Amino acid sequence: MNLLLVSHSGLNSNLGLLLQQDISFRPTVLYVAAQDLDRGCEFWGFLASTTKKSTGCIMSQCDGGGGFTCRNKDVAIRLKVGAIGAILTAGALGVAIPLLGKNLKYLRTDGNFFFVAKAFAAGVILATGFVHMLPDAEDSLTSPCLPEHPWHKFPWFAFLAMTSALVTLLIDFVGTEYYERKHGIAVHGIRSNSTRIVDERLETMPDEPSRNIPSEKPDGHGMHIVGMRAHAASHGHSHESGHHGEIMNHDHIPHGHSHFNEGSDKEVSIRHIVISQVLELGIVAHSVIIGVSLGVSNSPCTIRPLFGALCFHQFFEGFALGGCISQAGFKNTSVIVMAFFFAFTTPFGIGLGIGIASSYKENSEAALIVEGVFDSISAGILIYMSLVDLIAADFLSKRMKCDRKLQICSYLSLFSGAAAMSALAIWA
């Protein structure tokens, strides 16, 4: 007896194709509900092995299964529990190194070693967006299990990624402006006060020929002295000149330099505050989806490569995020909260996936849409953050331009990170 179990939704696409390929195959067909097909296939597979009868299972890909090869729930559970511990450790270690090592010579955020390591992490994040998240989003939103309209009429995955990148740019701009207004009032007040003091002192200078500030001179010295006056105003001190604009006296206004440097430090810190928060948002969004995908799988063949890829991925994403958090100068409470959310997001997703594995249909319409939308949004955020706030910000800086050795090491590190994370797409 040839017995074939078929779900109703799998009839047209799979049974018809099978009968066309083998016209001698005329099975006894037993129709079962899609939700019962999994148990039915396991039972009839056992029956076939003991009775030597020919049995088979046909299930539509959209019924929630992609075949029954390499399925072992007991082994899968053990791997998933191990993955929770390993990924949690890798993420926590990655984010902690820049935070705890900022007082060590080689791990300080202003050192060359950290600069090069951060370039590697930026390459990993860029490849995550382009090579992992974007193709996954395309697979989900162009799946044959989704209706033809609207999902197959427009490249939604690319549109959502582009929109996400543009919205991230807007958030980046608005966030930076907000923090500058919040923290920049005192700085602008100090600069205005310094300028006022310098102007008053320049106006009250004795009117001596050797100390006059000419407005124009044919030989160009007037322009030099005007530039000195602007320089004095910005720094909070006055330059007094002799013949040909030579500096004869350097009279400082008290505390002028320290306030100006404080303003510059605040502006840099504000940028890192915004960068770290937006970067964490993008990482957390896709970490939940990745965790759930691993948690619902009962295939050890799927879990094993994801295990290693996610450990690698979490460590270097954590390193980049930890560096941004460290440079932002958050309070200890904020640092702990941000590090905690990063480290626990993927393990939480895995645990959530284990909890819903029995009812989760990975190829159902709702699951595909949610996963595809989240992957697209995450891809846009990660691509923008890696290119603009991690790579461009460091690689176009004066520090990079003035150090040839640092340039070479950083570019090699960036390309190596991107290549390593891209290579993992072969297995996961």
Kindly state the greatest CA–CA separation across the chain. 117
My answer on whether 295 and 355 are in the same domain is yes
My answer on whether 43 and 162 are in the same domain is no
My answer on whether 353 and 406 are in the same domain is yes
Q: Yes or no: say if 304 and 103 are a contact pair by the CB < 8 Å rule.
A: no
Look at residue 213 and tell me if it is in a domain.
Answer: no
Q: What are phi and psi of 195, to 5 degrees?
A: -65, -40
At position 148, the amino acid (one-letter code) is E
My answer on whether 389 and 415 are in the same domain is yes
Look at residue 255 and tell me if it is in a domain.
Answer: no
Look at residue 106 and tell me if it is in a domain.
Answer: yes
My answer on whether 276 and 407 are in the same domain is yes
Q: Is the peptide bond before 150 cis (omega within 30 degrees of 0)?
A: yes
Please give the distance of CA 305 from its chain centroid, rounded to a whole number: 21
At position 185, the amino acid (one-letter code) is I
Going residue by residue through the chain, which has 428 residues, state the pLDDT in tens, using 9 for 90 and above: 444 444 444 444 444 444 444 445 454 444 444 444 444 444 444 444 444 444 444 445 575 554 445 778 889 999 999 999 999 999 999 999 988 877 777 778 778 888 999 999 999 999 999 999 999 999 999 999 999 889 999 999 999 999 999 999 999 999 888 888 887 644 444 444 444 444 544 455 555 444 444 444 444 444 444 444 444 444 444 444 444 444 444 444 444 443 434 445 667 778 888 899 899 988 888 888 889 989 988 888 888 888 888 999 899 999 999 999 988 888 889 999 999 999 999 999 999 999 998 888 888 898 899 999 999 999 999 999 999 989 998 999 888 888 999 999 999 999 999 999 999 998 87
Look at residue 237 and tell me if it is in a domain.
Answer: no
Decide which of 22, 44, 63 is a domain's last residue: 63
Look at residue 216 and tell me if it is in a domain.
Answer: no
My answer on whether 135 and 280 are in the same domain is yes
At position 81, the amino acid (one-letter code) is V
- pTM greater than the 0.75 cutoff: no
If one counts the domains in the chain, the total is: 2
My answer on whether 379 and 404 are in the same domain is yes
CA distance 404 to 116: 13
My answer on whether 28 and 150 are in the same domain is no
CA distance 40 to 31: 10
At position 32, the amino acid (one-letter code) is V
* 3-class secondary-structure state, position 6: strand
CA distance 287 to 350: 10
Contacts 24+ apart (CB under 8 A), 30-36: 30/3, 30/4, 30/5, 30/6, 31/6, 31/7, 32/5, 32/6, 32/7, 33/7, 33/8, 34/7, 34/8, 34/9, 34/10, 34/59, 34/60, 34/63, 34/64
Look at residue 198 and tell me if it is in a domain.
Answer: no
3-class secondary structure for 23-69?
A: CCCCCEEEEECHHHHHHHHHHHHHHHHHHCCEEEEECCHHHCCCCCC
In which domain, by residue range, is 56 found?
2-63
Sheet holding 54-58, edge to edge: 28-32, 2-7, 54-58
Place of tokens 């044919």: 218
Look at residue 137 and tell me if it is in a domain.
Answer: yes
My answer on whether 86 and 17 are in the same domain is no
Decide which of 63, 84, 114 is a domain's last residue: 63
My answer on whether 285 and 403 are in the same domain is yes
CA distance 131 to 420: 11
- Please classify residue 139 by burial: count the beta carbons closer than 10 Å to its beta carbon, then call 0-12 exposed, 13-18 middle and 19+ buried: middle
My answer on whether 28 and 121 are in the same domain is no
My answer on whether 46 and 175 are in the same domain is no
Decide which of 21, 37, 63 is a domain's last residue: 63
Look at residue 282 and tell me if it is in a domain.
Answer: yes
